[in-house]
């Protein structure tokens, strides 16, 4: 499997969970997942009462935890999901699910799924993907051929 196809396994797990949280709760706290060394998806969240209790603080806790996993060589790929607001071309704003995705082989992307939520129904209107800036895996891992 390629790095991209392994990262897509995380997308296929995390995106439906984000949609479920939107349907049931109207939003979600940052959460994530990773592929362990046997390529199984492991879901990760932050306790609701964790300090700091801000969304940015929760996301940073996930980032720090994932950096430790990557440094210890315990993950193939990592992903963090956040509920964000994006500007539209007309100046209005749109809600989006943001997935930050990184693979130890060097693949790194941010994918945004713009959505609307009406009467418990989540409708994804479009998807925006762009190259991400790596957070978790060091360059020497790629040079050594890990991935």
Res. 88 pLDDT band, cuts 50 70 90: confident
How much is the pLDDT for 52? Answer: 65
**Stated pTM of the model:** 0.88
For residue range 20-69, list pLDDT tens digits in order. 999 999 999 999 999 999 999 999 988 766 666 688 888 889 999 999 99
Res. 118 pLDDT band, cuts 50 70 90: very high
How much is the pLDDT for 80? Answer: 97
Long-range contacts of 21-30 (CB under 8 A, 24+ apart): 22/83, 22/97, 22/115, 22/117, 22/122, 23/117, 23/120, 23/121, 23/122, 24/120, 26/117, 27/83, 28/81, 28/83, 29/55, 29/58, 30/55, 30/58, 30/59, 30/62, 30/80, 30/81, 30/82, 30/83
């Amino acid at each position: 499997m390629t790095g991209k196809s392994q990262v897509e396994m995380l997308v296929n797990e995390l995106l439906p969970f984000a949609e479920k949280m939107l349907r049931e709760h109207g939003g979600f706290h940052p959460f994530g997942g990773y592929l362990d060394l046997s390529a199984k998806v492991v879901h990760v969240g932050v306790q609701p009462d964790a300090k700091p209790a801000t969304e940015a603080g929760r996301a940073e806790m996930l980032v720090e935890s994932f950096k430790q996993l990557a440094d210890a060589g315990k993950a193939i790929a990592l992903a963090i999901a956040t509920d964000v607001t994006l500007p539209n071309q007309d100046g209005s704003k749109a809600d989006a699910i943001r997935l930050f995705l990184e693979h130890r082989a060097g693949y790194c992307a941010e994918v945004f799924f713009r959505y609307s939520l009406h009467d418990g129904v989540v409708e994804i209107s479009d998807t925006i993907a762009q190259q991400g800036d790596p957070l978790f895996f060091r360059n020497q891992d790629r040079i050594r051929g890990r991935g």
